[in-house]
Each structure stands twice: as structure tokens, then as C-alpha cells.
Chain A
Amino acid sequence: MTSGQLEIQAIAVVTAAACALVGMFLVLRRTSLLSDAIGHSVLVGIVLAFFVTGTTTSPLLLVAAAATGVVTVALVDLVVRTRLVREDAAIGLVFPTLFSIGVILVSRYADGVHLDTDAVLLGELAFAPFDRLVIGDFDLGPTSLVVMSVVLVVVLLAVALIWKELALTTFDPALALALGFAPTLVNYVLMSLVSVTTVGAFNAVGSILVVALMIAPGATAYLLTDSMKMMAALSVAIGVGCAIGGYWLSYAVDASIAGCMAAMCGAAFAVVWALGPRRGLLTAARRRARQKLEFAETMLAIHLAHHEALPEAAVENRVANLNHHLGWSDQVVAQVVRSAENRGLVVQRDGMLALTETGRALAGEALVR
């Protein structure tokens, strides 16, 4: 591994960790798409700051972009509060408008300078190590790495500091308000964190894929746990895993790093969605199949118990007749009988079924219930 590769992965890891941590709250608060909106509207902030400072490297650009993110959220809030449209529509009105203004400003007044919208939207991680932060003679490392490390520390500190407030306002805003926790203030703190993270991250992954890094790890972790602390840990772990996995995938197929990281995020969610413990699709399907079989076994036990020791038992409790009496196909009968035998509920002798003690107990219990 070259030092360049190491640095790229370090940037990816730090970015993914910061994104996953703030993104988790967006997932829980059902405002995931604000990250999409912020990611697009920061363009205006960057352009305006560029007009003021005349450079594309000033740290003021980051501040302005982050401020635009907060303004975007405030505008969405404002539109929602007119009660003329609902929140999803409000988001869909605000960010394309701001983004359009940004694009028009760029193409009218900033043509020719290095401020192409592609770079903002897509980022380019592969070039990140070339842009180094040098103070005096001392090379601090790639600028994005330094910036994102600072962002990560800020996010970690802020989240740790207002963890309780975040939890309360996320799950019960009304109670939070009643207890004097100012949900709006907490919301804006969170949105500032989202903005700062988005802006810091777009250098690395671009503003569209930042959505993947913010939402996918949180959504994946949400499928795995019920504890918020666990969810935070899992989100960060999944985000970091996707970042590193995505990097090596891009190395293997020689394609866009950011694209591979986003694809990894989608894949991680898909895997957990399908195979996850407890809530995975496959696990749920298996559970349903097992419950169905157990129910059928109980039915069989009840049927046998109902007829045993009576004259008709010779007909009713014969394996070959069960299909008719219980309305099951021969296949189902065979499967249920086999499974019931394995569980020790029934024994089979000369094509006749007899309940064991366990089987009789099960039938009695099921009927009482």
C-alpha cells in the first residue's frame, strides 16, 4: 500500500465516520432527505463566498457553505409553516431553487475559474492527497484529511454533549418541549452539524454520494438494533467498513472511488435487509415457515387426540387418510408427519399414527388455550 492509498483511505474513513454519526439521527428523525437538500444548496454558499473572497481555497468557503445548509433548513421550515404544502414537497421546492441559483451564478459569473459544479457534486477522492496543508515547512497531510478530522472531532464532541437532548427530541419532541429542552434549538444544532459534515465531505465524495454515507449506515444499523448507543456504534462501523470496502472495490475494478463507496453502502443495506438476524427478510420467512409447520403439527396432534381410542380411529388416524381428513396435500402430510415424529409427538406403526405422551399433552394444552 502506498502512502497515497493510505491517505485516501484515511480520508474516506474519517468522512464516513462523521457522516454515519450525524446521519443516524436524520434516519431516526425521518428527515433524511434534508441531507440531500443541504448537499445541493451548499453550491450557492460556495459561489457567493467565492465572489467575496475570490479564491476557491479560503476556509470562508466552508463556513459560507455550512451556513447555506442551515439557511436551507430554515427555508424548508418556513415553507412548511405556511401550511400550504407538506414537508416533502417543501424540501423538493427549496433545494432545486437554491441549486438553480447556484448553477446560474456559476455559469454567468464564475465561468473559467476552477469552480465547476461537477467537482462540487461528485468530488474526487483520488486527487485529495495532492492538495496538502502545509504550515511553514511542516506538512500536516492532505487538506481534506485535516478538515474532516476536525469535523469528526466536532461532531463527536457535540453528539456526546447533547446525546440526551438528541434522544429525547428525536423520540418525544412534545415531552422535550414540556421539559424545557427546546427541540427547535436541538434541531438546528443537529442541522448545523449535518451542514458542516456535508460541506467537509463533498470534497471527498461529492454532495450526491454524501447522502449515501449519511443515510445508508444509519438505516442499516436501524435494522440491527433497538438501542441508540448500539446504533451509533454500528452506524460508524458500517460506514467505515463501506468506505474501506468501496476503496478496494474501486481499486479492483478501476472505477470511481466515491461511486464504489456508495454502491457498497447500498449493498450493505441490501445484505442486512435480506439476511439480518431477527428482522431480515430470509429470517422472517424462515420463522413464518417454522410457525406454519408447528401449527400444522398441533393440528395433527389435536386430530389424533380427538379420535384416539374410538372405533373410527382405525380410519381417521391412518396416515394415508390424513390428506382427506385434514385437507392437506400428500406432500404436506408427509412433511408434517415426519416433523412431528422427529419432535417425538407421534409414532407411526403399520401406517397408523399414535400420539406419544408429549403429543397428547400438546394437543390438550392447545385445546385449553
Chain B
Amino acid sequence: MLFDDYTVRTVALGAAGLGIVSGALGTFAVLRRQALVGDAVSHAALPGIVLAYLVTGSKASLGLLLGAAITGFLAVLLVTAVIRTTRVKADAALGLWLASFFGVGLVLLTFVQRRPDASQAGLDRFLFGQAATVLREDVWTIAIVGAIALSVLALAWKQMKLLAFDPDFGTALGLRMRLADVLLTGLLVVATVIGLQMVGAVLMSAMLIAPTAAARQWSDRLGRVTLLAGLFGAVAGVVGAVASSRAERLPTGPTIVLAVAAIVLLSFLFAPTRGIAMRWLRARSRRGRLALNAVLESVGELEQQHGSGSRGHAAETIGALIAGDPRVALEQLARRGLVARTPDGLWTLTVRGREELDRR
């Protein structure tokens, strides 16, 4: 069986855990229009990881995670400070610090690579993730760190909700919104850095954004969107991990991202009420209903003009009134018993059709 394979099971579990955490926390980033914060955090994590390695000399994932979290958090603080104190807007502030931090990380990395004990694979792994090297300890790290992050989210749910929709109201209620803001940023940083090993820096932003973008289409309630986003993230993680293990040379991170992109596409198309297909169908049925009404009213109008003695009217005459071909609509109206066809091919209102028109 699929999950009997130890590696696949480990990777799938890790990806599922990551999907839940990043999906649920990403909801708040997307709702607060900070969708690309994850992108900045993941790139800004590079100098932290390298520094942690330079300081500790070990590749233990917890130390590297801590380093990543510190510089990632620092970058977000700088972004917020720039937005607050200058006229530079969020997009430029993000791009600016993202790339500068990454540049510093690259510089530090050249120092590491000069050390005789260093392996060269570090950067690749950081950029694209290397899910195949995920160990049982890493899954535990994801599970424990993720569980803590989600518990904090659950405990501070009310504050987070206000933060997402109406922070000013929260302040007016006497809640400490600045603190909540910092807390949420911290949670986002945590969600981002635990994903680095799995999907890598470049693709991590998708893991925060895509599950929410999909979940948002299915519900208007924050709780449900958060749960669904976690679920979508987990499903994409498992599907991606398993698919990449089944096929040769199918890297895990990009496969997970494609899986979640597929969920987004399906949601965009087929979600009830918001989905594109549903909107199109609704628009069509609305157009159809309007057309039926127009035809029915035309028949009524013609009969009124010609008095009760008329033997009915030709489809062409009715068509001239609505500037279109009424035959399909007439057939449909006939099936509902609102109009009837006389033996010589003319159309008349039935009693029910007359009642229907009178009721308006």
C-alpha cells in the first residue's frame, strides 16, 4: 500500500501538518491584505538560517528554524515601520526588504561555503525545499510548533477576528490590537518557517495564500473559511507528497503547490454562489426567465390589442415585439400551460396564462 512506505508516510504527514497550519493562519494574512507577507518572511529567513548555522555549527532543524523566525520577524517589523513612517507603500516596502535580506543571506552563505566542513546543498534546499529529507523529528517539529500556533490562534480568536475585519472597533472595545497584530505576525512567521524545509522559500507564499483563496469561495463565515483552508492545505500536502513519490523526478514542493492551485481553480469555477460557473449559470437562467416573461407579456399585449375575438398570433408577430426569436420561449411557456398552440400554428394565452399576467 501507498502509506506503508516509511518515507512517503513521513513526508505526507509533514506536508499535511504544514498544510493545516499554513492554510488556517494564511486566512488572516489574506483577509488583511497581507497575502505576500509570507513571501517576504520566507526570503528574509535566509540570513537567519545561515547565521544560526554559523553560530551553532549544527544543522539541527530547531536552531535553524529559530534563526529563520528571528530574521523573518525582523523583516516584517521593518516593512511595517516603513509603511507607518514613510510614504512608501506596502508593495514596495515588502519587495525592498525581501530582496535586501535575501542578498545579505547570500553574502553570509558565501562565508559558510568557504568553511571546509560545509556542504554546498544548503541554498538549493532553502529555495526549493527538500521534502525527501524530512525526518520523523521534523514531522514532530511541525506538529508541535504547528499545534502551539493553532492553539494560540484559537485562544485569541476574538482578537484575531476583530483584527481581520475592524481593528478600530477592537481598540474601541479596549482590546490591545497592536499586541494582537504583533502576535498574528509572529504566528505567520512560524507558519512560514516550518514550511521552508518542505516546499522552500519561493513557493511558501502559495501555501499561505492558495488554501484561503479556495476556501473563501465556499463560505462567508470566518470560522468555516479557516477550517476549510486548513483542510485544503492538508489535502494538497498529502496529494502532492504522494504524487511526487509515485512519479520519478517530480519534486515535492512544486507538486504540492500545483495540487493546491488545482483546488483553487476548481473552487473558482464551481463553488456555489461565488464560483464562475455558477455565476454564469445564474446569469443565464435569469436571462431565460426575463425572455419568458417578455414573450408572455407580448402575447398578452397582442391579445389585448386585438380583443377577445382573436384566433391567436403567429410566432413571427410575437418575435417582432421582443426583437428576437420567441419559439423556444413559447415552447417552454406551452409546457408550463401558460400559452397554447392552435391547430393552425398560432399562439394564444391559456386561462392560466391570463391569470398569471393579471396577477402582476
Contacts and interface: CB of A to CB of B under 8 A. Distances in A.
**A, B: real partners:** yes
B93 A212 contact: no
A281 B128 CA distance: 38
B254 A93 contact: no
A211 B98 contact: yes
A256 B106 contact: yes
Contacts of A250: 107
Contacts of B97: 266
Contact of A118 (B35, B103, B123, B264): B123
Contacts of B93: 219
Is chain B's interface secondary structure helix, strand, loop, or mixed overall? helix
A99 B86 CA distance: 33
B49 interface: no
B202 A84 contact: no
Interface stretch (B223-231, B255-263, B281-289): B255-263
Contacts of B335: none
B39 interface: yes
Contacts of B100: 212, 216, 262-263, 265-267, 269
Interface in B77-128: 82, 85-111, 114, 123-124, 127-128
5 contacts: A85-B30, A86-B35, A103-B254, A107-B250, A254-B110
Contacts of A256: 106-107, 109-110
Interface stretch (B161-169, B210-218, B290-298): B210-218
A262 B91 CA distance: 17
A137 to B, nearest CB: 37
Interface string A265-290: 11101000100000101001000000
A104 B251 contact: yes
A259 B106 contact: yes
Contact of A117 (B86, B92, B128): B128
A44 to B, nearest CB: 11
Contact of B99 (A31, A84, A208): A208
A88 to B, nearest CB: 4
Interface in B192-219: 202-203, 205-206, 208-210, 212-213, 216-217
B249 interface: yes
A85 B95 contact: no
Given A107-B250, A266-B97, A92 B258 contact: no
Given A107-B249, A117-B128, 16 more contacts: A33-B94, A36-B95, A36-B98, A91-B35, A92-B206, A100-B253, A103-B254, A118-B124, A209-B103, A210-B99, A211-B98, A212-B96, A255-B107, A255-B108, A259-B102, A266-B101
Contacts of B221: none
A96 B33 contact: no
B268 interface: yes
A269 B85 CA distance: 13
Contact of B88 (A82, A85, A222): A222
Tell me if A's interface is mostly helix, strand, loop or mixed. helix
A269 B203 CA distance: 27
A302 B210 CA distance: 62
Contacts of A258: 103, 106
Given A88-B33, A89-B35, A108-B249, A209 B95 contact: no
B85 A266 contact: no
A114 interface: no
Nearest to A207: B202
B153 interface: no
B99 A103 contact: no
B254 A99 contact: yes
A99 B103 contact: no
**Which of B106, B114, B268 gathers the greatest number of chain A CB atoms within 10 Å?**
B106
B107 A100 contact: no
Interface string B27-61: 00010011110110001000000000000000000
Contact of A93 (B101, B103, B264): B264
B274 interface: yes
A136 to B, nearest CB: 38
B276 interface: yes
B287 to A, nearest CB: 20
B209 A32 contact: no
B26 to A, nearest CB: 9
Contacts of A255: 106-108, 110-111
7 closest A-B pairs (Cβ-Cβ)?
A262-B103, A266-B100, A259-B106, A212-B99, A96-B206, A100-B254, A92-B209
